[in-house]
Amino acid sequence: MMRTSHLLLGFGYLTATLGFAQSPFSPLSSTALERKTDSLFAHANASNTPGGVIAVLYKGDVLLKKGYGMADIANKIPLTPASLFNIASTAKQFTATCITLLEEQGKLSFEDDIRTYFPQFQVKKTITIRHLISHTSGLREAYVLAALSGKVNLKGQVRKQYKTTAHLLQLMAKQQELNFEPGQEFAYTNINYILLGEIVRKVSGLSLAQFADQSIFKPLGMTHTYFNDPQAITRAGRATPYQLIDEKKRKFKPLSIRHDQGVVGDNNLITSVDDLIRWDQNFAANRLGLGQQSLVKTLQTRYILSSGDTIHYAFGLNVTPYKTTRSIGHGGDDYRYTSLMMRFPAYDLDLIYLSNQSDYQDTQQKVFALADVLLNVSAPITKLVREPLQASLPFDSLYFKPFEGHYMGSGAKNRYSFREVFIRNGKPYLSFQPQPNKHVFELLPLGSQHYRFKVEEPDVYVEAWFTQPKVGGQSRLSERFKTDTLHYDRRLTAPSSTSVLTQFTGLYRSQELNGQLKVKVKGHGLTIKRGLITIHAIPIGEDTFYAPENRAIFYFKRDKAGLISEFLISAVDFRNVRYSR
């Protein structure tokens, strides 16, 4: 799967008109660029650590391609531009291109009802191929459904017999509800692209891997790129993936790539930086299909919701503002490998980075930092926060004290987002998960109720302020990032004594998933467990619990006698999944 910038989740899936004036630009010399890049990637450039491979292109020409760190630490094999990586969700643009090529051939329409291809689906609403491409289908996330059925854990690691597209399709065929009306919202769900891969197979008569090889990889000379489906043969040159196990000490453990063939369409594309350079160059002068540039234009076309709002997502590509310009690209993270591709059309500048370590935040920060150096856009960043808000003021802890507590998102875009506000060592902090938690952000006072905090992108701040409650109400936290403002309402901590929590315990069953979950008391909350999954939830209101690590809400319901009879689970990508006693 691809994890969106963790610290900005909820912000910016609707974007304003992306019109940016082109700035005067001249690239660094190759020597200066390599020196800058060496500095940014210094901690990865060692014989005892995994790393990554970076490429920088200007007007289609390669200014730099270089590996940092090791492809295999034990055998002392360094990373090179020819090293092979799984690029996870960065693969989605290739699946979308396959669909677009079939549309160009007249073999399908973006407006086709997917029930044409999946007549076994029980959902009554019309979902089109275009809805799948843009993540606006409303379909629940199949990997989560598989997890809730007890066959997969929440990191996507599956029991071997369930690591198949067929099993996921069986789960989807039983679904009778959607997250929302098709075309009404954006919710990133991998099942959309798994289904697109299946449509390629049904329409072309070839597997996605075969069609992509014939229609994309061979025409572009991407000789080492392939979808890693169950028929794939593992090729030499794969970089060993490493999982980060100690962030502070930067310790990693190697993971196996044996028998990792599986579901494709949403991820599981094996490629190299050398091959991705060829793919990237094709955006400037298309050689696929009929060879028309209209294909590239289609791939970069964002979807317009039924409300008239334009989302950031195109055809497996994010089209978003970046500082003073616009970027087009996608990232990937499968908890083993991470990747990020970014193109800056106004500058004819492209970045490709593939890594064999599991820390996506590290991958993102490296690419962002290099982009800032190349674009020279670090200076205007302060303009994202209004000028009067620049200087921090002394902190008044007595005034701040009433705002401490748990907050939940109150809008469609952040309804499953959590915030905790607290004082530590005399300073105010905000966290996206309950404490104790290492990811905390100091709130820098800008006024009596006004703050800002720094996020992932270098020197970028989110503005935050509190609103005093009305009589009998709760305080509100508001956050503004660029032009987007989100609100969070304070939740009174619900009673969490064992005697109160016991009423929620027991076995619950889902007919849609043909599986059950066991609810138990643990500490001041609940654990929900089945098979490989364990979910920890804290009380946030009457008969309501929140699972911060999964960003999911459990709504318990009572029968006429006042006894707990069922619960509904909801999150951004799966909603109203019902379990009953």
pLDDT tens-place string over residues 371-388? 988 988 543 333 333 334
Fold for the domain defined by 387-491: Lipocalin (2.40.128)
For residue 438, give the nearest of 3, 6, 5, 42 by alpha carbon.
Answer: 6
Residue boundaries of the structural domains of the chain: 6-140+175-377, 387-491, 498-580
CA dihedral 238, 239, 244, 247 (to 10 degrees): -160
pLDDT tens-place string over residues 550-579? 889 999 999 999 999 999 999 989 999 999
* pLDDT the model gives residue 473: 73
pLDDT tens-place string over residues 58-75? 999 999 999 999 999 999
Report, as an integer, the average pLDDT of 295-321: 96
* pLDDT the model gives residue 113: 98
Using the predicted structure, report yes or no on whether residue 401 has a pLDDT greater than 80: yes
Report, as an integer, the average pLDDT of 446-460: 75
- Residue 160 CA, chain-centre distance (Å), reads 25
- Per-residue tokens: 578: 């019902």
Report, as an integer, the average pLDDT of 47-64: 94
CATH fold match for the domains 6-140+175-377 and 498-580: no
Q: Residue 576, by phi and psi: left (phi above 0), alpha (psi -120 to 50) or beta?
A: left
The answer to whether 321 touches 341, Cβ cutoff 8 Å, is no
Measured distance CA(357)–CA(241) in Å, rounded: 6
- What's the DSSP call for residue 125? S
* pLDDT the model gives residue 151: 62
Report, as an integer, the average pLDDT of 416-421: 89
Using the predicted structure, report yes or no on whether residue 436 has a pLDDT greater than 80: no
* pLDDT the model gives residue 385: 36
* pLDDT the model gives residue 512: 86
Give whole-number Cα distances, 345 to 22, 217, 335, in Å.
Answer: 9, 23, 30
Alpha helices in 149-264 (DSSP H): 165-173, 191-204, 208-212, 218-220
> For the chain, what percent of residues have pLDDT higher than 70?
88
Give residue 457's pLDDT band: very low, low, confident or very high (50, 70, 90): low
Beta bridge partners of 272: none
Phi and psi at residue 497, to the nearest 5°: -70, 155
* pLDDT the model gives residue 44: 84
Give the amino acid at 119. P
As to burial, measured by CB atoms within 10 angstroms (0-12 exposed, 13-18 middle, 19+ buried), residue 391 is exposed
Give residue 523's pLDDT band: very low, low, confident or very high (50, 70, 90): confident
pLDDT tens-place string over residues 334-367? 989 999 999 999 999 999 999 999 889 889 989 9
Report, as an integer, the average pLDDT of 291-310: 97
Using the predicted structure, report yes or no on whether residue 438 has a pLDDT greater than 90: no
Give residue 12's pLDDT band: very low, low, confident or very high (50, 70, 90): very low
Lowest-confidence segment of 8-17, 39-48, 112-121 by average pLDDT: 8-17
* pLDDT the model gives residue 323: 82
Measured distance CA(267)–CA(418) in Å, rounded: 28
Report, as an integer, the average pLDDT of 446-459: 75
Using the predicted structure, report yes or no on whether residue 206 has a pLDDT greater than 90: yes
pLDDT tens-place string over residues 139-195? 999 988 888 876 655 454 555 555 689 989 999 999 989 999 999 999 999 999 999
The answer to whether 564 touches 571, Cβ cutoff 8 Å, is no
Q: Which residues contact 213 (CB under 8 A, 6 or more apart)?
A: 226, 227
Mean pLDDT over the full length of the chain: 87
More confident: 8 or 567: 567
Using the predicted structure, report yes or no on whether residue 55 has a pLDDT greater than 90: yes
Report, as an integer, the average pLDDT of 300-307: 97
> For the chain, what percent of residues have pLDDT higher than 90?
61
Phi and psi at residue 38, to the nearest 5°: -55, -40
As to burial, measured by CB atoms within 10 angstroms (0-12 exposed, 13-18 middle, 19+ buried), residue 136 is buried
Report, as an integer, the average pLDDT of 257-277: 93
Give residue 498's pLDDT band: very low, low, confident or very high (50, 70, 90): confident
Q: What CATH number was assigned to the domain covering residues 498-580?
A: 2.40.128.50
The answer, yes or no, to whether the previous bond of 436 is cis (omega within 30 of 0) is yes
Domain 6-140+175-377: top CATH class: alpha beta
Give residue 580's pLDDT band: very low, low, confident or very high (50, 70, 90): very high
